[in-house]
Amino acid sequence: MAGEKTVPLILLCCVAQNAALLFQGNSNPGQATTLGPIGKDATLSLLIQEVLDLKIQVQNQEQEIQTLKGHQTLKNNVTTSTLNQLMSEFVDIKLSFEVLQQDCDQTFNLTGFQSLTKKIDDVEQSIKYLTLSQERHELQDEAANRTISQELHRLNQMTSDLQTKQDVTNRTMVRHILDLQNLVQAVQRKMTSQSVDIHSLQVDLLTERTSISSLGSDIATLQSKVQSLNYTLQNNNSTIRLVGGTDLNSGRVEVFYNGTWGTVCDDYFDYKDAKVVCRMLGKNTSHAVAHSRAHFGQGAGPVVYDNLGCMGTEADLSECRHTPFGHSDCKHDEDAGVTCG
């Protein structure tokens, strides 16, 4: 690209040098030029033609530089100022050639030739400067391209390293996930086994509870029978007993009368009457308590005593004031009870 653009510049330099030789003639100061008026006109015409051709080449060069400027602006914004400077110098060259053409049209004397030669030398120097500037610009582009290539290589290397690390991390995570899945499966199997054991234990426990409940019911029945048996044994030769209490010291008061067991009405029945009952049973009378309203449950049979009025010192209920035996308006929801102690 750079070589193709420097060819017109080299041709321009050659034309400028030839024009200088034509205008100046021999380089020896003492020797006169051999060009006459006719030769001078022909030379000027050729020179003007070459100047016009050179102007066209400069315009083409200007267009190429504008194209290069557009390309380089897209590549790197740093080169914009350099291209602007080159364009400014090409504009100056263009103006110089226009001024040169005007001078050629207006004058044909030696002074004009010398001025033209100097301007061509200036153009040659400008072209050399532009060529050097273009080469430096291309070198800068090449350096920038190398820097960009190095950065791209470094980024590619970093990307490769990160990809390698990511692959290692992914493999490690997959291994950990598999280990966790195996652990969860083992725990689930163990929990399933334990759930079966727990269910079996729950069934066994429920069976045991049912057995214990049935056994408790049997025990309560036996206790009631034993209590009744104890009452029977203790009161085998007695006419009074306690039934339905929580222990042997409490219960509903029942009296044996006329061959059957009957109850005592709670009308006027108080702690004094309870002391007499406890004394008849051979129990402690210090803290005897009277209970009413069938506190220990309703009995059966006749209501033997009603409206008892003991003093608390009697040895038997028959010694206390009461209505005649078998005459009572009470029902069994008024059966009296005592707690001895």
Q: Which pLDDT tens digit goes with each residue over 220-268? A: 767 655 554 454 444 444 599 999 999 999 999 999 999 999 999 999 9
pLDDT at 299: 97
Among 122-131, 185-194, 325-334, the range scoring the smallest mean pLDDT is 122-131
For residues 340 and 284, give the distance between their C-alpha atoms in angstroms, rounded to a whole number. Answer: 6
Paired strand residues for 339: 250, 289
Side-chain half-sphere of 87: how many Cα atoms within 13 Å?
14
Q: Say yes or no: do domains 2-25+34-159 and 230-339 share a fold.
A: no
The pTM of this model reads 0.34
Count of other CB atoms within 10 angstroms of residue 237:
5
The second-level CATH assignment, the architecture, of 230-339 is Roll (3.10)
The token duo for 188 is 């689930």
Residue 27 has pLDDT above 60, yes or no: no
CA 31 to chain CA mean position, Å: 99
CA 141 to chain CA mean position, Å: 49
pLDDT at 62: 74
Report domain extents, the chain: 2-25+34-159, 230-339
Residue reference for tokens 């041709």: 11
In degrees and rounded to multiples of 5, residue 289 shows phi and psi of: -125, 140
> Would you tell me the crossing angle of helices 80-106 and 110-234 to the nearest 10 degrees?
160
Q: Which pLDDT tens digit goes with each residue over 64-116? A: 777 776 766 666 554 556 666 767 766 776 676 666 666 655 554 455 556 66
CATH number of this structure's domain 2-25+34-159, picked from the four choices 1.10.357, 1.10.287, 2.40.50, 1.20.120:
1.20.120
Side-chain half-sphere of 92: how many Cα atoms within 13 Å?
15
Q: Which pLDDT tens digit goes with each residue over 267-292? A: 999 999 999 999 999 999 999 999 99
Spell out the residues 6+ positions from residue 114 whose beta carbon is closer than 8 angstroms to its own.
23, 24
Q: What is the DSSP letter of 316?
A: S
The token duo for 144 is 């920038």
Cα torsion 320, 326, 332, 333 to 10°: value is -60
